[in-house]
């Protein structure tokens, strides 16, 4: 895939390096040229100095050819602006924006943007460490599809994404590992402790729960109103 990343902080740099190592074509944008030093030595993508919401910068990055745009700067407004530009002006199908404040996520979802909230991820990890159980927390996307978050169980660990997919019912799309999100391919291996974010057809959540031996709990029931 052709992936453009806005922001080369710790998360952006690690994500860019991981995606590059996975064989994707990656372009990283940051207003501070010095930030590119954070990129791993194996990174073989492109770097561009500029703002991730600047149309000229985005076009230089090849946004018109991008399969995915990810905004992970340390400013919510910058991430949302960049995400909207990528989605609305250039028609990028998959746009993910990082947000720091969970209470803003619902507003961003209304704009048609998918978000990743580090605060929520950490809170959930702490909660699940305390509870010590595998889980699935779900949030409705539309009438036909749901986004579910699964803590990798022994059944999933060590398997490739393509091997655990259930045709037309369950498709992993993102893995969160060490608080860093990465878009998966069929060859991506799931590791113990990963959080797997997947699209599930309506009515198949219980089947996925039984098939992979994980407990299903709603996000709101767990006291967390902020979806991934």
94 and 157 in a single domain? The answer is no
Is 178 contained in some domain?
yes
Say what the pLDDT of residue 223 is: 32
- The predicted model gives 151-171 an average pLDDT of 83
Three-class SS state of 31: coil
Is 108 contained in some domain?
no
Is 110 contained in some domain?
no
202 and 135 in a single domain? The answer is yes
Contacts of 55 (CB under 8 A, 6+ apart): 85, 89
Is 216 contained in some domain?
yes
Is 105 contained in some domain?
no
Identify the CA nearest to 40 among candidates 17, 11, 7, 21: 17
Q: Give tens-digit pLDDT for 107-149.
A: 777 777 777 766 556 555 545 544 444 545 544 444 455 667 7
Say what the pLDDT of residue 202 is: 67
80 and 164 in a single domain? The answer is no
Say what the pLDDT of residue 137 is: 53
Q: How many residues does the chain have?
A: 228
For 117-145, letters b (16+ CB in 10 Å) and e give bbebbebbeeebeeeeebbbbbbebeeee
Look up the CATH number of the domain holding residue 26: 3.40.50.720
Domain total of the chain: 2
The DSSP code for 89 is: I
| Cα three-residue angle 5-195-150, rounded to 5 degrees | 130
Say what the pLDDT of residue 166 is: 80
To the nearest 10°, the Cα dihedral for 198, 199, 201, 206?
A: 20
Say what the pLDDT of residue 198 is: 78
79 and 32 in a single domain? The answer is yes
7 and 80 in a single domain? The answer is yes
126 and 93 in a single domain? The answer is no
- Alpha-carbon distance 23 to 2, whole Å? 10
Q: Give tens-digit pLDDT for 188-216.
A: 899 988 888 877 776 777 787 887 776 54
Look up the CATH number of the domain holding residue 200: 3.30.70.1450
Owning domain of residue 86: 2-99
pLDDT band for position 7 (50/70/90)?
very high
Is 112 contained in some domain?
no
86 and 167 in a single domain? The answer is no
Query: Given 43, 66, 99, which residue is the final one in a domain?
Result: 99
Instruction: Write down the mean pLDDT value for the chain.
Output: 78
More confident residue, 170 or 44: 44
Identify the CA nearest to 189 among candidates 18, 52, 60: 18
pTM of the model: 0.55
Radius of gyration of the chain (CA): 17
- Alpha-carbon distance 185 to 189, whole Å? 9
The DSSP code for 152 is: -
150 and 189 in a single domain? The answer is yes
More confident residue, 16 or 199: 16
Q: Give tens-digit pLDDT for 79-105.
A: 889 999 999 999 998 998 888 766 667
- Phi and psi of 125, rounded to 5°? -65, -40
Is 133 contained in some domain?
yes
pLDDT band for position 152 (50/70/90)?
confident
């Amino acid at each position: 895939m052709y992936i453009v990343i806005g922001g080369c902080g710790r998360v952006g740099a690690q994500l860019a390096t991981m995606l590059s190592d996975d064989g994707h074509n990656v372009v990283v944008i940051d207003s501070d040229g010095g930030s590119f030093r954070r990129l791993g030595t194996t990174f073989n993508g492109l770097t561009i100095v500029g703002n991730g919401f600047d149309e000229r910068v985005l076009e230089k990055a090849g946004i018109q050819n991008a399969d995915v745009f990810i905004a992970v700067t340390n400013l919510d407004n910058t991430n949302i602006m960049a995400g909207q530009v990528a989605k609305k002006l250039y028609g990028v199908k998959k746009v993910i924006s990082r947000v720091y404040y969970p209470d803003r996520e619902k507003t961003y979802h209304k704009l048609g943007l998918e978000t990743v909230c580090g605060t929520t991820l950490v809170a959930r990890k702490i909660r699940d460490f305390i509870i010590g159980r595998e889980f699935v927390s779900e949030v409705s996307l539309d009438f036909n599809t749901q986004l579910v978050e699964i803590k990798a169980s022994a059944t999933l660990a060590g398997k490739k994404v393509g091997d655990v997919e259930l045709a037309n019912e369950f498709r992993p799309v993102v893995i969160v590992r060490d608080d860093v999100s990465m878009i998966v391919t069929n060859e991506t291996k799931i590791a113990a402790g990963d959080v797997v974010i997947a699209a599930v057809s309506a009515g198949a959540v219980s089947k996925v729960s039984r098939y992979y031996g994980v407990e299903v709990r709603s996000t709101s029931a767990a006291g967390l109103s902020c979806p991934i």
